[in-house]
Amino acid sequence: MQKEIHEQPESLTTTMRGRLIQGGSCKAKSVLLGGLKDHLRTIRRSRRIVFIGCGTSYNAVLAARPILEELSGIPVTMEVASDLLDRQGPIYREDTTVFVSQSGETADTLHALKYALENGALCVGITNTVGSAIARNTHCGVHINVGAEIGVASTKAYTSQIVVMAMLALAIGGDAISSKVREVLKLDQEMKDLTKLLIAEQSLLVFGRGYNYAMALEGALKVKEVALMHSEGILAGEMKHGPLALVDENLPIVVIVTRDACFRNDSNQHEIPPLLHMHLKHYETLRSMLVSFKSLLACHLTVLRATMLTSLAILQRVLQPNEEGFPTEPLPSSGLITPSNFCNTTIA
């Protein structure tokens, strides 16, 4: 068992090999699960996705369920195979049933597979064994490819099952993710409204916690580099240790908040008077600056939103080029773009 625990880095790599399609920047662009490609459209139209397993396989589904629900946008239910059979739980033709088994030969899971087939559901298998009963009798499926697991207690198969289900969620939710990005890109007008608050400011603080701390640093860096405004990205947990002393009634602050594990701690910042209570006259606008999306996807959508805000701030702060053509300092206030002529302004 210990040997197989230490084999997990290699087994996870093997599970993902050939299934992450590389983009031009050498980053994964999409997920390709060849065994499912002819059935993805049917899965996306499903009434619900029912995952069925026993023991470790059931626990793997439990771990992956939040990702599956969030990215697929389809209700996900879980069943222990023996319990489903005992109570003859409802399975419908509009359902997609996913059978998870390391060996592909688990007796209760096989009986549940037969039950789902009799009820007309689409059956998908996730197994480690090529040619197993589940691989042969399901409509489509994915092999986790971790090699033989000798130990009775499943280890490397468990982690690879979670990875495969995460890739399944990405494959199912591909269109939905693109639509979320498109929704964020429609926020131009909101970004224009926010720049009206920042147009004449000389400094900006950006707070973030967790993976949003990196976003706060990047957003502040973009403001420095492009809008030539002093800005600092700050870890929200360190707010009381120095940054709070910089706050006065005129200092603009952006707080990046996403609905992740840090959300409760981020929400506590609303109770600190020096941050937001001094800006009550702009409360509605500030509230729209609290970016609220879900989970890891939120980080990427937040990047889009912050980039849009920065780019519009550039338009508002017209820069005077130096002899080499690089911007040096903002023009006097008379050179600023006003809301009335904003839409008619072109940038060479």
The third-level CATH classification (topology) of the domain covering 193-319 is Rossmann fold (3.40.50)
Fold of the domain spanning 1-181: Rossmann fold (3.40.50)
CA distance 317 to 238: 30
Q: Could you report the per-residue pLDDT of 48-61, keeping only the tens digit for each?
A: 999 999 988 888 88
Residue 49 backbone dihedrals phi, psi, to 5 degrees? -115, 125
pLDDT above 80: residue 117: yes
Hey, is 221 helix, strand or coil?
A: helix
DSSP sequence for 162-216: HHHHHHHHHHHTHHHHHHHHHHHHT-HHHHHHHHHHHTT-SEEEEEE-TTHHHHH
| Residue 136: pLDDT over 70 | yes
Domain ranges of the chain: 1-181, 193-319
The pLDDT of residue 240 is above 70:
yes
Residues 6+ apart with CB under 8 A from 32: 18, 19, 20, 21, 171
**Cross-strand partners of 101:** 127
Query: How many Cα atoms sit within 13 Å of 302 on the Cβ side?
Result: 31
Give 26's pLDDT tier (boundaries 50, 70, 90).
very low
Residue 17, judged by CB atoms within 10 A of its CB (0-12, 13-18, 19+), counts as exposed
pTM listed for this prediction: 0.58
CATH fold match for the domains 1-181 and 193-319: yes
Top pLDDT among 320 and 148 is at 148
Q: pLDDT for 73-89, tens place per residue? A: 889 999 999 999 999 99
Antiparallel, parallel or unpaired: β 319-321 and 76-80: unpaired
132 vs 292, which has greater pLDDT? 132
Predicted confidence band of residue 331 (pLDDT cuts 50, 70, 90)? very low
| Helix (H) or strand (E) segment spanning residue 142 | strand 140-143
State residue 150's pLDDT score.
78
Instruction: Quickly state the pLDDT bin for 169 (edges 50, 70, 90).
Output: confident
- What the block records as the tokens of 192 is 């224009």
User: What pLDDT sits at residue 320?
Assistant: 43
